[in-house]
């Protein structure tokens, strides 16, 4: 379904009835800066709806799972929430029982600070692993953030900044569209630059049948909408949107302990509620897909050290699992990713990765080609396992742009999969090796 979306400013405060704020409360205990408008970047955000909202969420399937994720998963059952408190600088992961107590204290303290009934707050955290939360700073931050809530574009900017870690820029989008005669808005923010290959499910539980490649950042995304929608319908839409966006990206193949996507829908647009088989659902789904995919792509483009973004399209696989496995093998191959960095078409490394992937493939049937983003004109380097007459110069030109598409046709069936992937650069290595003289760059 193709729909016309009007992009509007304000991301998470674009929809009616939402407010946000972002403050600095020194969660990394740098000991620098005081107050929200001085010193280093903001590190605590609040996102609040005027009224209790329908909620849906998707969470990391990593078996090592952070305390805030566990608290959110528990609270999803009630289908309602009104506020999300998010901090950067500390993931509250591998923090044991004290970590769980801290996550529960974060939601309880937020509810009290905003005079909300118990149970309506959710929590997200990102940052270092294995470090106890600095709860005095957190409480001070929540109190300050509560006083600064507002629905100006600047408020969304502050919240989007506060959830960043290694991100070089904040990531925001909002759109407006018609749903059942009413004007509805969906907006979102997200963060994530490394430890990025999310594999999220509604409960954080792994699917019974694992994808071949296993499941593999912290990425966080918070989406708000004024659509009126039931929790189950919203969860179905979010599941589908994440399957085609956040769960299709990889920067470095590492799945985080904290990956979280939450959607709040407060119903203030006044549309009539709809079921999953309605025409309205299709419209809503298409709009949510658009928001989720645009946010997910922003994560890859801003990935740590990333110079090139490549859309890997595998077609003609026997099964969806095979298509997915082949796409992930290519998207995560160190040799393929370094060749992208070098502007090297290197189909040899690509077919090698396809061949060792768990997908069933037949060398003599594999096609490999390149196109400009969104173009249907594919330059094939390999057809049925054999090099074409495309010249090396032509192939180099095809992979020179900052973004391009890689097409792999297995010619064995009808299943396909796509991955939004990144190159591997010296800058990635340099960033992630940290600096042993500065422990704040290390340890998680």
- Token code pair at residue 336: 């393929």
- Token code pair at residue 61: 């399937």
Binding of a second copy by 311 (CB under 8 A): no
Binding of a second copy by 439 (CB under 8 A): yes
Binding of a second copy by 341 (CB under 8 A): yes
Nearer to a second copy (CB atom), residue 287 or residue 366: 366
Count Cβ atoms below 10 Å from residue 383 Cβ, excluding itself: 17
Buried b (16+ CB within 10 A) or exposed e, 256-275: bbbbbbbbbbbbbbebeebe
Quote the CA–CA distance of 222 and 125 in Å, as a whole number: 12
* Residue 230 burial class via C-beta count within 10 angstroms: exposed 0-12, middle 13-18, buried 19 and up: middle
Binding of a second copy by 42 (CB under 8 A): no
Which of the residues 121 through 150 are near a second copy (CB under 8 A)? Answer: 128-130
Minimal distance, residue 39 CB to a second copy, in Å? 24
Taking Cα atoms as reference points, which of 384, 248, 408 lies closest to residue 315?
A: 408
Judged by CB under 8 A, which of 40, 207, 275, 443 binds a second copy? 443
Judged by CB under 8 A, which of 39, 358, 401, 413 binds a second copy? 358
Which of the residues 313 through 332 are near a second copy (CB under 8 A)? Answer: 325, 329, 332
User: Which one from 54, 61, 110, 218 is the annotated catalytic residue?
Assistant: 218
**Known catalytic membership, residue 218:** yes
Minimal distance, residue 347 CB to a second copy, in Å? 7
Judged by CB under 8 A, which of 40, 117, 275, 434 binds a second copy? 434
Binding of a second copy by 84 (CB under 8 A): no
Is the Cβ–Cβ distance between 370 and 311 less than 8 Å? no
Nearer to a second copy (CB atom), residue 46 or residue 58: 58
Count of residues in the chain: 444
Span from 19-27, 82-90, 115-123, 348-356 in contact with a second copy (CB under 8 A): 348-356
Give the three-state DSSP class for 11: helix
Which of the residues 231 through 270 are near a second copy (CB under 8 A)? Answer: 252-257
Binding of a second copy by 401 (CB under 8 A): no
Quote the CA–CA distance of 342 and 361 in Å, as a whole number: 27
CA distances from 194 to 246, 257, 405 (A): 13, 12, 22
Minimal distance, residue 175 CB to a second copy, in Å? 32
Nearer to a second copy (CB atom), residue 258 or residue 289: 258
Quote the CA–CA distance of 207 and 166 in Å, as a whole number: 30
Judged by CB under 8 A, which of 346, 371, 409, 416 binds a second copy? 346
Quote the CA–CA distance of 365 and 318 in Å, as a whole number: 13
Quote the CA–CA distance of 36 and 154 in Å, as a whole number: 13
Which of the residues 367 through 386 are near a second copy (CB under 8 A)? Answer: 382, 385-386
CA distances from 412 to 155, 348, 360, 363, 387 (A): 51, 20, 9, 11, 19
Binding of a second copy by 425 (CB under 8 A): yes
Minimal distance, residue 370 CB to a second copy, in Å? 14
Binding of a second copy by 278 (CB under 8 A): no
Binding of a second copy by 63 (CB under 8 A): yes
Span from 104-112, 145-153, 180-188, 193-201 in contact with a second copy (CB under 8 A): 193-201
Which residue is associated with the tokens 């502007």? 343
Judged by CB under 8 A, which of 94, 100, 202, 320 binds a second copy? 94
Taking Cα atoms as reference points, which of 85, 86, 88, 84 lies closest to residue 128?
A: 88
Span from 134-142, 151-159, 272-280, 337-345 in contact with a second copy (CB under 8 A): 337-345
Residues with a known catalytic role: 218
């Amino acid at each position: 379904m193709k729909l016309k979306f009007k992009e509007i400013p304000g991301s998470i405060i674009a929809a009616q009835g939402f407010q946000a704020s972002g403050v600095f409360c020194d969660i990394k205990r740098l000991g620098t800066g005081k107050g929200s408008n001085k010193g280093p970047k903001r590190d605590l955000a609040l996102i609040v709806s005027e009224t209790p909202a329908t909620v849906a969420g998707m969470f990391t399937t990593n078996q090592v799972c952070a305390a805030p994720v566990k608290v959110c998963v528990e609270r999803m059952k009630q289908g309602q929430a009104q506020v999300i408190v998010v901090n950067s600088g500390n993931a509250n992961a591998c923090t044991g029982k004290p970590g769980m107590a801290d996550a529960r204290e974060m939601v309880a303290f937020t509810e009290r600070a905003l005079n909300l009934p118990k149970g309506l707050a959710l929590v997200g955290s990102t940052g270092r692993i294995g470090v106890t939360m600095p709860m005095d700073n957190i409480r001070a931050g929540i109190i300050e953030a509560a006083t600064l809530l507002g629905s100006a574009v600047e408020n969304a900017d502050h919240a989007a900044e506060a959830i960043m870690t290694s991100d070089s820029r904040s990531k925001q989008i909002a759109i407006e569209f018609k749903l059942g005669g009413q004007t509805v808005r969906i907006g979102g923010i997200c963060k994530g630059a490394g430890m990025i290959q999310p594999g999220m499910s509604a409960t954080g539980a792994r699917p019974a049948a694992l994808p071949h490649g296993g499941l593999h950042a912290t990425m966080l995304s918070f989406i708000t909408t004024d659509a009126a929608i039931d929790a189950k319908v919203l969860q179905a839409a979010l599941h589908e949107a994440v399957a085609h966006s956040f769960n299709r990206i990889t920067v470095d193949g590492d799945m985080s302990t904290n990956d979280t996507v939450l959607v709040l829908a407060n119903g203030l647009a006044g549309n009539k509620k709809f079921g999953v088989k309605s025409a309205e659902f299709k419209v809503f789904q298409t709009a949510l897909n658009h928001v989720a995919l645009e946010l997910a792509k922003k994560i890859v483009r801003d990935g740590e050290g990333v110079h090139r973004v490549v859309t890997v399209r595998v077609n003609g696989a026997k099964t969806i699992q095979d298509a997915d496995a082949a796409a992930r093998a290519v998207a995560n191959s160190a040799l393929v990713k370094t060749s992208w960095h070098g502007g090297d078409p290197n189909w040899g490394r690509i077919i090698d990765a396809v061949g060792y992937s768990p997908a069933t493939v037949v060398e003599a049937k594999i096609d490999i080609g390149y196109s400009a983003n969104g173009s249907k004109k594919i330059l094939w380097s390999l057809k049925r396992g054999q090099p074409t007459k495309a010249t090396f110069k032509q192939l180099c030109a095809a992979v020179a742009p900052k973004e391009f598409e890689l097409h792999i046709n297995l010619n064995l069936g009808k299943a396909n999969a796509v991955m939004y992937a990144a190159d591997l650069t010296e800058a990635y290595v340099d960033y992630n090796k940290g600096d042993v003289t500065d422990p704040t760059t290390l340890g998680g």
